[in-house]
Chains A and B, each alone.
Chain A
């Protein structure tokens, strides 16, 4: 009897341990989505918009196979109908196709420029904040100088030198947002580098590069993610602004901003959908990205990771205003 029960106990223990780990592995992705929907419903909504935008961009040629520049002079300035869902413009181009391809352009420009800007921000911010001293002094004065110029002046000068075009816009916007964003990264680095674990890493023999990448970078990820998402929306807006001024991506490329300015403004009274549709598209995209970004920041904070503690921290946060306010009020 006893000889039978002992192996059984051993085998159950042996078989239950590995699946537990697998379940934990699954939970990371599922748990994340679950927590997003539960704790931040607006964030989940924003995420859905982002995914929709991304998919539209990727599958633009499938959704609108005729392309963004298919001219059909007979159907000029047609209002939205079953044939043309969002109407047509002054050249008879399907507005729906142009919006879809515009989404592709926006996604490309937004991600490329934002990624570039984040890399620039992280490199300048982390090195400047961590090394400090003269290097910090010198690099921050360069950043100051750069930020003295209004963005629009820099943009106009850069476009007139480089000429309009997609990669020029990406480069200029990336540089512009990257340099100003480095301030935010730097200030977080300044507080992170005071921590004892940075000192401990030095005492452990870690190289400077290792400390920057393994210890500083992950600890400034929260502001970097927020920076990324807010910049993503800002870049879409900036690109539209540039195209609106005729400094961005030249026609016939279907930039939402360009569509607003060229077609939208000229035919505002005959065909209001030409202005309304790209405007609404821009609004939805920017709104969705911002909502998702805020939620992402809260959920990716490692102090909220782990099923139990995450809920605990969230509960504490929710409780804080009601329980803290009276005490705080009295103290003041």
Chain B
């Protein structure tokens, strides 16, 4: 079933190393083992990120977004996790074939990550200065005597007021939004070519969310870096992403530009996500339409399309055969047997 996805040539796929895309992920599979049970957290995911592009990965909790991101840098705790199949080409080099040392050179240097929880992703016993300097020290990017100036510069870039006095502060003296700014500054310290932001604003106030996302967008634009933005918030995606991958049960169910996904969603799940989002232009009487049911148990997927039990459009074929991710229109891909028209 999932082999069908793995072998399916994608519209935007081409030979690794010769593409203009910075990152090329091919049929990535990550499983977690619990005794005899095998949870397919990422089940044959393929996508690519072009230089300077922002790709959003959208889905509910447990749809495999974060595990996909972690798998890219091989940060899956093993055991119980294991990447069992697939390729991740970064600038033509396969990250999954690299030795631990080679990969360490890439982590934080060429690909940097921002985590979900700003409250706990900074080390409480180290000063902001020590933590900001760490990626530069690890990768020997900046000379020791220039590190302080660079730290100040980074704090200014992420718009932390009065950076000179903030540099020797401890994380507990910062608010959540400020900590996330520090995390962003750390991620940008070595000017990475790809930034993976794993729900960077989930834990923050709504007012701060927009600031942080604007900042991320500005900074990636300035440096010409690509970004993978992982989120469950479609509102965030609409504004900041160039392209969108919708994930469900460990696979990509729909992929297209932000406009395509919002204007013409072609997968019932995407449609459900959009319908369950509050809109300012809807009439006051209009109610949000939730997606019924629960996400499936990844250790025990239903036969056929994993979304079929919750899908209002499901036909018999959906419950028997797993739909491959196929081009619908040009670069707009969907994994659905049914033609959903609004």
Residue of A whose beta carbon sits closest to that of B73: A203
Query: What are 8 A-B pairs with beta-carbon distances under 8 A?
Result: A24-B168, A199-B115, A199-B121, A200-B115, A203-B108, A204-B107, A205-B135, A302-B125
Q: Which of B168-223 contact A (CB under 8 A)?
A: 168-170, 172-173, 183, 186
B340 / chain A contacts, CB cutoff of 8 Å: none
**B121 interface neighbour in A17, A133, A197, A306, Cβ under 8 Å:** A197
Q: A302-B170, A303-B172 are in contact. Are A201 and B125 (CB under 8 A)?
A: no
* Complex partner residue of A204 from B79, B126, B138, B170, CB under 8 angstroms: B138
CB-CB nearest in chain B for A217: B125
Residue of A nearest to B122 (CB): A197
Kindly list chain B residues whose C-beta atoms are within 8 Å of the C-beta of A203: 73, 75, 107-108, 112-113, 115
Contact of B108 among A24, A204, A303 (CB under 8 A): A204
Since A203-B113, A210-B138 are in contact, a sample of 11 more A-B pairs with Cβ atoms closer than 8 Å, ordered by chain A residue number, is: A195-B123, A196-B121, A200-B183, A204-B112, A204-B135, A205-B107, A206-B134, A207-B138, A214-B126, A219-B123, A219-B125
* Residue A202 lies at the interface, judged by CB distance under 8 Å to chain B: yes
Hey, which bits of chain B sit against chain A, CB under 8 A?
73, 75, 79, 104-109, 112-113, 115-117, 120-126, 134-135, 138-139, 164, 168-170, 172-173, 183, 186
Closest beta carbon of chain B to A99's beta carbon, Å: 40
> Chain A's interface: helix, strand, loop or mixed, by majority?
helix
* Measured CA separation A196–B121 after assembly (Å): 5
Does A72 belong to the interface (CB within 8 Å)? no
Bound together, the chains give a CA A133 to CA B164 distance in angstroms of 44
Measured CB to CB, the closest approach of chain A to B154, in angstroms, equals 14
Q: A214's contact among B117, B124, B134, B183, by CB below 8 Å, is which?
A: B134
Question: B172 is contacted by which of A197, A218, A221, A309 (Cβ under 8 Å)?
Answer: A309
Question: Which positions 177-221 of chain A face chain B at CB distance < 8 Å?
Answer: 195-197, 199-207, 210, 214-215, 218-219, 221
* Known pairs A197-B121, A197-B123, A215-B123; A202 contacts B170 (CB<8 A): no
Given A206-B138, A214-B134, A309-B173, CB of A200 within 8 Å of CB of B125 = no
The yes or no answer to A70 lying at the interface (CB within 8 A) is no
User: Shortest CB–CB separation between residue B150 and chain A, in angstroms?
Assistant: 15
Q: Of all chain B residues, which has the CB nearest A198? A: B123
The answer, yes or no, to whether A311 is at the interface (CB within 8 Å) is no
Q: How far is the CA of A203 from the CA of B71 in the complex (A)?
A: 11
Q: Is A305 on the interface with B (CB-CB < 8 A)?
A: yes
Contacts of B169 in A (CB 8 A): 306
Neighbouring B residues of A17 by C-beta, 8 Å: 164
Instruction: Give the 3 A-B residue pairs with the shortest CB-CB distance, closest first.
Output: A204-B108, A205-B107, A205-B108
**Residues of chain B within 8 A of A305, CB atoms compared:** 170
Contact of A306 among B73, B109, B170 (CB under 8 A): B170
Decide if B109 touches A205 in the complex (CB within 8 Å): yes
Name the B residues within 8 Å of A24 (CB-CB). Answer: 168
CA distance A232 to B169 in the complex (A): 33
A317 to chain B, nearest CB (A): 15
User: Could you tell me the distance in whole angstroms from the C-beta of A122 to the nearest C-beta in chain B?
Assistant: 15
In the assembled complex, the CB of B189 is this many whole angstroms from the nearest CB of chain A, namely: 9
**Contact: B125 with A195, CB < 8 Å?**
no
For the complex formed, measure the closest distance between the CB of A304 and the CB atoms of chain B, giving whole angstroms.
Answer: 10
| Contacting pair A302 B115 (CB below 8 A) | no
Least Cβ distance of B299 to chain A in Å? 22
Q: How far is the CA of A310 from the CA of B116 in the complex (A)?
A: 28
User: In the complex, are the beta carbons of B126 and A195 less than 8 A apart?
Assistant: no
Distance from B83 Cβ to chain A, minimum over Cβ atoms (Å): 15
Partner of A196, one of B105, B107, B115: B115
Contact among B106, B123, B168 for A205, CB-based, below 8 A: B106
Chain B CB within 10 A, most for which of A200, A210, A306: A200
Which residue of the partner chain A has the closest CB to B187?
Answer: A204
Interface residues of A in 275-332 (CB under 8 A from B): 302-303, 305-306, 309
- Alpha-carbon distance A305/B120, docked complex (angstroms): 18
Q: How many angstroms between the C-alpha atoms of A206 and B140 in the bound complex?
A: 12
Known: A133-B79, A196-B120. A201 touches B173 (CB 8 A): no
Instruction: State A202–B109 Cα separation when bound (angstroms).
Output: 12
Report the nearest B residue to A197, measured CB to CB: B123
Question: Which residues does chain A contribute within 8 Å of B173, judged by CB atoms?
Answer: 306, 309
Interface string of A9-26 (1 = CB under 8 A from B): 000000001000000100
Question: Are the C-beta atoms of B125 and A218 separated by less than 8 Å?
Answer: yes
Q: How far is the CA of A24 from the CA of B169 in the complex (A)?
A: 12
Chain A residues, Cβ within 8 Å of B126 = 214-215, 218
Alpha-carbon distance A215/B316, docked complex (angstroms): 54
Distance between A241 CB and nearest chain B CB, rounded to angstroms: 36
A24's closest neighbor in chain B, by CB?
B168
- In the assembled complex, the CB of A152 is this many whole angstroms from the nearest CB of chain B, namely 38
When C-beta atoms are compared, the residue in chain B nearest to A313 turns out to be: B172
For B168, list chain A residues within 8 Å (CB). Answer: 24
Q: A219 to nearest B CB, angstroms? A: 6
| Residues of chain B within 8 A of A214, CB atoms compared | 126, 134
- B23 nearest CB across to chain A (Å): 15
